[in-house]
Amino acid sequence: MTRRADAVRARYIDLISVLGPELLRYFERRSPDTAEDLVSEVLIVGWRRRARIPDVDEHARMWFYGVARNVLRSQMRSRARQYRVLDALRGVSRPSTADDASEHVALRDAVERLPPDLREVIELAHWEELSLVEIGQLLHIPASTVRGRYQRARERLAQGLGSSSPSPSPSIRPGAAGQMDADAPTLAAPDLSPGRALP
């Protein structure tokens, strides 16, 4: 094994030791029953493509999140096909499920009703604590587009929860694996009512 290969391998191990818990939380919030399997799939993809991982740690973090996003999309498409087949066989619609934590039901439902592009920005900002700039990098869109989507999402959430307008609140912290650029704008969490946070 060459020195270059040794260095790439060592860096991959260092990265996943930091990002592994983050990726597990990412999947647990979206697919708790298969979270560990999905993390394993991301790590396998990362290992196979380890030579393509960006050299800058924060860029590498976004690279892994991009892989995780693609893995999750693939699983969702597969599940959707399975549900369509099962529903056709049963001749009935699949019932929706309710969250056990009643204090989060209204907010979770409101987030789920958002259009996919708005919902994704809210989830990345509040669940993954990514900055506006980082979300733009992950989704390959300008930061200004992210800001517009975030603002529209806040307005819709405020309307859905019966608030006249979303109030400003402390800025979201940068992700644990890196620092936000000093000049990068931050996203304010939608303080739609006292004590509410995204579940």
- The pLDDT value recorded for residue 53 is 93
CB atoms within 10 A of CB 179: 10
CA atoms of 114 and 11, how far apart (whole Å): 38
According to the model, what pLDDT value does residue 144 have?
94
Please state, in angstroms and rounded to a whole number, the distance separating the CA atoms of residues 111 and 116.
10
- DSSP-derived secondary structure for 3-43: HHHHHHHHHHHHHHHHHHHHHHHHHHTT-GGGHHHHHHHHH
Length of the chain in terms of residues written? 199
Q: Which whole-number Å values give the CA distances from 3 to 6, 7, 10, 58, 113, in the listed order? A: 5, 6, 10, 24, 51
The predicted structure's pLDDT at residue 83: 55
- What tens digit of pLDDT does each residue of 49-107 get? 998 999 999 999 999 999 999 898 887 776 665 555 445 444 444 444 444 344 456 77
Helix axes 57-90, 132-139, angle to 10 degrees: 60
Give pLDDT, residue 64: 95
Distance CA 66, CA 57 (A): 14
User: What pLDDT is recorded for position 78?
Assistant: 67
Q: Which of 34, 140, 120 is nearest to 82 (CA)?
A: 34
Spell out the per-residue pLDDT of the chain, length 199, in tens: 588 888 889 999 999 999 999 999 999 988 888 899 999 999 999 999 998 999 999 999 999 999 999 898 887 776 665 555 445 444 444 444 444 344 456 777 788 889 999 999 988 888 777 888 999 998 999 999 999 999 999 898 888 776 544 444 333 333 333 333 333 333 344 443 333 445 4
- Helix/strand/coil (H/E/C) assignment for every residue in 145-158: HHHHHHHHHHHHHH
Q: What pLDDT was estimated at residue 90?
A: 44
pLDDT at 176: 35
State the pTM of this model: 0.51
